[in-house]
Amino acid sequence: MLNPRLSDTFSVRPRELRRETPSLSPHQAQSPGAPGTLRSSTGLLSALEKTTVARELQNLPREDIHEIASFLEPKDVLALASTSKKLQTHLSIHEDAARITQRAAGLRTIEDLPGTLAALERIPPQHRSAAMSSIAYSTRRLAVPDRTIALSQALDALDSLSAPYAIAPLTAFGSSISSLLISDRAMAFDRIISALEVRFAERASEPLANLIDSIADLPEADQPGAFDRVFNLLAQQPATPGRETAAGMLLRASSLLPAAHRTTAYSQVVDKFRG
């Protein structure tokens, strides 16, 4: 149980904390009040609150310290770790993860990526997931021809993450397809949806929302095939409300197809989900 004074600092207790949005762009992650950020009643932790929290954290069991740290922004972890030797010891793994996540969010050149991906292997899965999502957004800052290379290397590294940790990065990578050269987009779509088909079919709805939006960005000749793969994945949803959500997503996907394929796709969805 948390110290009551520490509980008053936060709007919820650590075990009740949940990230409302699993993947954020670096800009969103730095915005005051961004979803998934550990908040006080007035927003992000102020300097005074960090001092108070640091004092109270030192009196908590180690497992509670780790639990709280897993929900903090990287800059807050680094700030707390610098307040005392005890916290620096307890937060060392989170401190390392925070530095790596910041490094991932600041990716500027393709040459920086291999070292960043290698560094991810030494941090816990939940932190690796956040860092991989940051990489997905950071690839948009690379030179356009390098973005596909970066995406491919990052997806290779994603193989070491199991669900649910891989879902947020896959969602972020799906939103990056439109930033690639148009000749590379179908390949990127294939890599992401293949990962979903093989490993995460039962949790595919969230990443597929971004993939569906990317169908219109694919070369026209690839769009019907992309729809068919999305359809086959979403048609596996076993029960309401999963089926209702799947039907709505597929109707949206059908609306993005070229006119020559739109009616057929729409009928396919209606026939599958009727009743």
Q: State yes or no: pLDDT of 217 exceeds 90.
A: yes
Helix (H) or strand (E) run with residue 261 in it: helix 259-273
CA 2 to each of CA 9, 46, 53, 237: distance values in angstroms, whole numbers, following the listed order: 11, 20, 12, 40
CA distance 70 to 51: 18
* Nearest residue to 252 via CA among 230, 229, 275: 230
Q: What angle do CA 223, 228, 230 make, to 5 degrees?
A: 95
Q: List pLDDT tens digits, range 118-137.
A: 888 877 787 788 888 889 88
Of the two residues 109 and 64, the one the predictor is more confident about is: 109
CA atoms of 161 and 157, how far apart (whole Å) = 8
Give me the mean pLDDT over the 145-153 stretch.
93
Q: pLDDT tens digits, residue range 69-109?
A: 666 666 676 677 667 776 666 666 566 677 777 788 788 89
**The model's pTM:** 0.66
Check residue 64 and give its pLDDT.
Answer: 74
